[in-house]
Amino acid sequence: MLLTSLYALFAAMHLWAAGVASVGPLLAAGLRWLGRDEIDSALKRLGWWSIGTLVATALLGLAMGVGLWSAPGGEYAAMLGRFPRQLYLYTAIEGAFTLVCYGVWLATWDRWRKRPGLHAVLPIVGATNLLYHVPPLMFVQRMLVEEPRLVAEEVVTRALFLPLMFSHEVMAKTLHFWGAAGVATAALGLGLLVSKESNDTKSNDTKPSAVRRVALLGLVAVLWQLVTGMAVLLAAPDLAQTMLGRSPLATAALMIAVVVAIGLLGGWLALVLTPSERRPVRWIFAGVATLFFAMSLAVRV
């Protein structure tokens, strides 16, 4: 139980980092395109956070992969061996490509200040690359660990991989991850905005609109998570049985996640309606951390 909880904690950290790395640049570029010059430094910090979390995602994923690879039973190691080596090379290249996109985007931040729409192409390309490729690959690999017979052949080729990638279960989980990415990014973006505004009294008149937009992202992302979470349970009957009664701990973790998500809806809504209110910010951070840990624990017990 202790090892499971520890692994769930690392998985929650990995989920948060991957979420910010995927959606953080989109939020920063979007707010900048709307002409929020008064929060420009906060948006640039969000861009740097996106690069940092992208690197953290790779390191945490590697550490977790090594731990699973060396675990008794060897199911994870066997699954990894079924994929061609080129797949891992392409995955590394895609990650490096996204990192370059983000790096060039931040390096040209001031030079392209007057053309935010064109400047946003780089983070959009980099973030789309992550959102489209990485989550389906991770979910398909997890499915093959649990059900190796989903692919009868010894080597998982592209032709065999694509039907699994576009299966209802993987698509539902991918959409659910996108919601989690929005929640993680909204929480970090809100923290950066509040921190920046607390030291910049000149932007007090413009603070509400920026905070309201970030809070609206958080509100929509939590609603998206609740809807896609139900879709995941419908698309994965075995997982649904585990979470809805077969495992008391998984059921409890799921219920905690749902309750916290509903509470986050209230916190985000409060910021949408009264964006100058700072009181919910700390609770939103705690709620997001609890939500991610509960979600990670629910699928691993």
Residue 204 buriedness (CB in 10 A; 0-12 / 13-18 / 19+): exposed
| Contact criterion met (CB below 8 Å) for 161 and 136 | no
How far CA 168 is from CA of 51, 161, 173, 296, in Å, comes to 31, 14, 9, 20
- N-term to C-term CA, the chain: 8
Q: What is the mean pLDDT of residues 35-47?
A: 85
pLDDT recorded at residue 203:
45
pLDDT band for 43, please (50, 70, 90 cuts). Answer: very high
CB count within 10 Å of CB 170 equals 23
pLDDT recorded at residue 162:
92
Q: State the DSSP string of 244-280.
A: III-HHHHHHHHHHHHHHHHHHHHHHHHHHSTT--HH
| Contact criterion met (CB below 8 Å) for 192 and 161 | no
pLDDT recorded at residue 36:
62
pLDDT band for 83, please (50, 70, 90 cuts). Answer: very high
Q: 84 in helix, strand or coil?
A: coil
pLDDT band for 67, please (50, 70, 90 cuts). Answer: confident
pLDDT recorded at residue 204:
47
Distance CA 119, CA 106 (A): 10
Tell me the pLDDT tens digit for each residue of 181-193: 999 999 999 999 8
Distance CA 18, CA 257 (A): 19
Q: What is the mean pLDDT of residues 207-217?
A: 87
pLDDT recorded at residue 26:
96
Residue 2 buriedness (CB in 10 A; 0-12 / 13-18 / 19+): exposed
Distance CA 60, CA 13 (A): 8
Q: 117 in helix, strand or coil?
A: helix
Q: What is the mean pLDDT of residues 10-29?
A: 96
pLDDT recorded at residue 253:
95
Q: 154 in helix, strand or coil?
A: coil
Mean residue pLDDT of the chain comes to: 90
Tell me the pLDDT tens digit for each residue of 141-162: 999 998 999 998 999 998 999 9
Query: Would you say residue 199 has pLDDT above 60?
Result: no
Distance CA 264, CA 179 (A): 13
Q: What is the mean pLDDT of residues 103-128?
A: 93
Query: Would you say residue 235 has pLDDT above 90?
Result: yes
| Contact criterion met (CB below 8 Å) for 186 and 221 | yes
Q: Three-state SS across 165-202? A: HCCHHHHHHHHHHHHHHHHHHHHHHHHHHHHHHHCCHH
Q: What are the structural domains of the chain?
A: 2-298 (1.20.1630)
